């Protein structure tokens, strides 16, 4: 059975959990104590992931890291959600790269600093991150005005990757994405309707943390 090293607040872990659930593949969670510092320990880097990151997937033979690599592996292994023809597969990769660089990363960092980090956020840093993810969200919203899913009219791993942080509660980021970006909102509804869908706090291991109180 697949083993997914993960923690509940990680949208990057959720990307993989969602793919496994929608593929109908049973998997076992292995809790990472992110907030207790486990991921930064020498032990974690030496024995779990030299990159010092989550998610990590054990598939029985391979140990894989980087959600985009894991998703691509799962799509190949199960012959689903990887895109059909070569041109579509290339599109899937293009959006995975865009997601990792611009769509997920700025928003995930913003959310972490907004409500999960110990220290209060620095306003100038938050303004920068907000501007960066807003640009990316507008790009994706425009794209989704003409496309049911990120690549064509059927779901792919690009969707699972890009929605990773968008099913968390609004109070964790302070950004109500659905009304602000209506095409993204409709796309999230389509993903949520896929058989097997579960939210991040339903499937990932670890306690839910109350967002840090705002001053």
Nearer Cβ to ligand GSH, position 185 or 211? Answer: 211
CA 160 – CA 28 distance, rounded (Å):
19
3-class DSSP assignment, residue 65: strand
Using CA of residue 11, residue 199, residue 57, residue 8, what is the dihedral sign?
Answer: positive
**34 closest CA partner among 202, 213, 204, 166:** 204
Distance of closest approach, residue 194 Cβ to ligand GSH, in angstroms: 21
Residue spans of alpha helices (H) in 23-119: 42-47, 67-78, 86-98, 104-111
Q: Cα dihedral sign for 85, 79, 95, 134? A: positive
- Decide whether 128 or 182 has the Cβ nearer to ligand GSH: 128
Total count of residues recorded for the chain: 215
Write down the least CB distance from residue 215 to ligand GSH, Å. 25
CA dist 118 and 141 (Å) reads 32
Cβ-based nearer residue to ligand GSH, 100 or 186: 100
Q: Min. distance of Cβ 213 from ligand GSH in angstroms?
A: 23
Q: Nearer Cβ to ligand GSH, position 37 or 179?
A: 37
Least distance CB 211 / ligand GSH (angstroms) = 16
| Shortest Cβ 178–ligand GSH spacing (Å) | 22
Q: Which is nearer to ligand GSH, 51 or 183 (CB)?
A: 51
Matching residue, tokens 């913003």: 110
Binding residues for ligand GSH, rule: CB under 6 A, are: 10, 12, 39, 52-55, 66-68, 100
């Amino acid at each position: 059975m697949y083993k997914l090293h993960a923690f509940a607040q990680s949208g990057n872990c959720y990307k993989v959990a969602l793919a496994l659930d929608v593929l109908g593949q049973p998997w076992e969670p292995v809790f990472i104590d992110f907030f207790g510092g486990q991921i930064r320990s020498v032990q974690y880097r030496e024995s779990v992931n030299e990159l010092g990151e989550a998610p990590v997937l054990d598939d029985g033979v391979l140990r894989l890291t980087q959600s985009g690599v894991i998703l691509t592996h799962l799509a190949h292994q199960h012959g689903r959600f990887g895109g059909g023809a070569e041109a579509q597969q290339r599109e899937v990769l293009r959006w995975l790269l865009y997601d990792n660089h611009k769509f997920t990363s700025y928003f995930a960092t913003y959310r972490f600093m907004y409500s999960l980090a110990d220290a209060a956020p620095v306003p100038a840093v938050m303004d920068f991150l907000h501007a960066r993810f807003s640009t990316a969200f507008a790009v994706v919203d425009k794209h989704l005005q003409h496309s049911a899913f990120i690549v064509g009219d059927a779901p792919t791993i690009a969707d699972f990757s890009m929605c990773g942080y968008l099913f968390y509660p609004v109070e964790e980021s302070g950004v109500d994405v659905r009304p602000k970006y209506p095409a993204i909102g409709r796309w999230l509804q389509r993903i949520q309707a896929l058989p097997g869908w579960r939210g991040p706090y339903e499937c990932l291991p670890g306690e839910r943390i109350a967002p840090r109180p705002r001053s």
